Amino acid sequence: MSDSAFHYVDGVLHAEGVSAASLAEQFGTPLYVYSRDALTRAYHAYADACAGRRATVHVAVKANSNLAVLNVFARMGAGFDIVSSGELARVLAGGGKAENTVFSGVGKSAAEMREALEAGVKCFNVESIPELHALNEVAKSLGKKAPVSLRVNPDVDAKTHPYISTGLKSNKFGVAFSDARATYAQAHAMPNLDVVGIDCHIGSQITEISPYLDAVDKLLELVAQIESDGMSIRHVDVGGGLGITYDDETPPDIGVFVKTVLDHIETSGHGQREVYFEPGRSLVGNAGVLLTRVEFLKPGEEKNFAIVDAAMNDLARPAMYEAFHRIVPVVKRDAKAHKYDVVGPVCESGDWLGRDRELAVEPGDLLAICSAGAYGFVMSSNYNTRPRAAEIMVDGERARLVREREEVKQLFAGESILPD
């Protein structure tokens, strides 16, 4: 397994001190299972490396927005990074504080801006000139000044999947590097905006430190120009995106990554500025698994299929990104393994969770889809009128239901038929 929180005891997969088989029996499948210990250790890897430095950690809510997960981080003093007012509501419900929350996102509505300003968020990461004007007007209507940083697109190749690369000229995100200085000047001239920082985010599942350093160098070059124009940049937001091990990737150690970035900023003469980190996947990805049960084994002329009760609506990453997740048996069988495509019951050829996997399984067996804590449940849907899975948090030898499984009748409770 990719995280020590998930391990085998006498051939049976455990989440911390609890058998995964017992969880499936008690709560059913498909089932998301999270480890509090894994979440805690990942957060402390960031927080400990930031200790004594001018640096803060803001958890990217979009990676996993379950209230119990957010509450684990809030109890440790985490800040948060959000991309919608719905995520802000989750942060507050989970025990987080608005004043420790950064509002990112390319398409904030006026209503969302108003909610965030009234709540008192720490900063808005603004991504366009029209957004600056809209935020200035909303702040004016409330008699407030909105703290802003601009998300600058540094045109740095993060060397990751094109769908999760966000820092190139061709991406929809951020202000073009060549336009940033003039855009900052416009922001500074708006009476209800307070320019406080600079932000970038170059992509996700990044397994090298060098793209971050390249992006930081471009940001700091721009900071010097902006401050020569009479503005003060108090923080540098380097975003998130650090990768995890799904298969054989070797991302840098979190502590080494944080220290390298902070040292680089300090030696560049910018140590007086606060640095924001916005990790998501590297906090929650390997803190979760998706349990699923084999329904049928279907042999074919070219492929053998293990048809399971989880599907692309439960875990979209394989269908969307052709993403790899390790798939392991919950109870190891002393039998010959065969090669299977692990697929779900959704009526789409793209409904697969793993291809060409060597598995010794029988109908009724349980499988664990690993590294499913990030962009798993949050991207799930009700396609084919399938209720979404339950979520469980394991804490030592205790397992708590932190999201009930949906029921079919809930899925159309807000719908109505036409009158006669």
> Quick one: 331 and 259 in the same domain?
no
Contact call for residues 82 and 61 (beta carbons, < 8 A): yes
Asked if residue 176 is part of any domain, the answer here is yes
Residue 342: which CATH number? 2.40.37.10
Q: What's the whole-number mean pLDDT along residues 260-279? A: 97
Give the chain's mean pLDDT: 95
67-75 and 36-50 are packed helices; what angle lies between their axes, rounded to 10 degrees?
Answer: 40
- DSSP string of 110-164? HHHHHHHHHHT-SEEEE-SHHHHHHHHHHHHHHT--EEEEEEEE------S-GGG
Whether residue 75 is annotated as binding a ligand: the answer is no
| pLDDT value of residue 156 | 80
Whether residue 278 is annotated as binding a ligand: the answer is yes
- The single residue listed with the structure tokens 């471009």 is 218
Asked if residue 52 is part of any domain, the answer here is no
Whether residue 321 is annotated as binding a ligand: the answer is yes
| pLDDT value of residue 154 | 87
> Quick one: 170 and 212 in the same domain?
yes
Contact call for residues 374 and 34 (beta carbons, < 8 A): no
> Quick one: 250 and 293 in the same domain?
no
Candidate from 161-165, 175-179, 304-308 with smallest mean pLDDT: 161-165
> Quick one: 196 and 254 in the same domain?
yes
| Separation in Å, CA 311 to CA 2, 147, 192, 300, 401 | 22, 42, 48, 20, 21
pLDDT tens digits, residue range 74-122? 999 999 999 999 999 999 999 999 999 999 999 999 999 999 999 999 9
Catalytic residue selected from 50, 123, 200, 347: 347
> Quick one: 120 and 265 in the same domain?
yes
> Quick one: 257 and 318 in the same domain?
no
Q: What's the whole-number mean pLDDT along residues 166-189? A: 82
Whether residue 280 is annotated as binding a ligand: the answer is yes
In this predicted structure, the answer to whether residue 268 has a pLDDT above a threshold of 50 is yes
| pLDDT value of residue 4 | 83
Whether residue 301 is annotated as binding a ligand: the answer is no
pLDDT tens digits, residue range 368-411? 999 999 999 999 999 999 999 999 999 999 999 999 999 999 99
Total number of domains in the chain = 2
> Quick one: 258 and 134 in the same domain?
yes
Asked if residue 157 is part of any domain, the answer here is yes
Asked if residue 16 is part of any domain, the answer here is yes
In this predicted structure, the answer to whether residue 27 has a pLDDT above a threshold of 50 is yes
Q: What's the whole-number mean pLDDT along residues 272-279? A: 97
Contact call for residues 99 and 122 (beta carbons, < 8 A): yes
Measured CA to CA, the distance from residue 210 to residue 80 in angstroms comes to: 25
> Quick one: 376 and 298 in the same domain?
yes
Of 277, 293, 313, the residue that ends a domain is 277
- Percentage of the chain beyond pLDDT 90 is 93
Whether residue 375 is annotated as binding a ligand: the answer is yes
Quick one: pLDDT band at residue 166, thresholds 50, 70, 90?
very low
| pLDDT value of residue 172 | 64
The boundaries of the domain holding residue 407 are 6-35+285-411
Burial class (CB in 10 A: 0-12, 13-18, 19+), 266: middle
Asked if residue 416 is part of any domain, the answer here is no
Q: Give one word for 203, left, alpha or beta, with left for phi > 0 and alpha for psi -120 to 50.
A: left
- Percentage of the chain beyond pLDDT 70 is 95
Q: What's the whole-number mean pLDDT along residues 179-195? A: 97
| pLDDT value of residue 329 | 98
Of 224, 252, 277, the residue that ends a domain is 277
Asked if residue 419 is part of any domain, the answer here is no
Q: Would you say the pTM of this structure is higher than 0.85?
A: yes
pLDDT tens digits, residue range 312-349? 999 999 999 999 999 999 999 999 999 999 999 999 99
Whether residue 25 is annotated as binding a ligand: the answer is no
> Quick one: 109 and 30 in the same domain?
no
Q: Is 398 helix (H, G, I), strand (E, B) or coil?
A: strand
| pLDDT value of residue 155 | 79
Number of other residues whose CB lies within 10 A of the CB of residue 13: 25
pLDDT tens digits, residue range 361-372? 999 999 999 999
In this predicted structure, the answer to whether residue 2 has a pLDDT above a threshold of 80 is no
Of 277, 298, 325, the residue that ends a domain is 277
Asked if residue 314 is part of any domain, the answer here is yes
> Quick one: 230 and 305 in the same domain?
no
> Quick one: 247 and 310 in the same domain?
no
Residue 166: which CATH number? 3.20.20.10
Whether residue 36 is annotated as binding a ligand: the answer is no
| Separation in Å, CA 199 to CA 8, 90, 101, 174, 196 | 42, 23, 14, 9, 10
Helix residue spans in 166-271 (DSSP H): 177-189, 210-228, 254-265
> Quick one: 202 and 311 in the same domain?
no
Concerning whether 200 is annotated as a catalytic residue, the answer is no
Kindly tell me the sign of the dihedral angle through the C-alpha atoms of 97, 103, 104, 110: positive
Whether residue 279 is annotated as binding a ligand: the answer is yes
Q: What's the whole-number mean pLDDT along residues 218-228? A: 96
| pLDDT value of residue 161 | 42
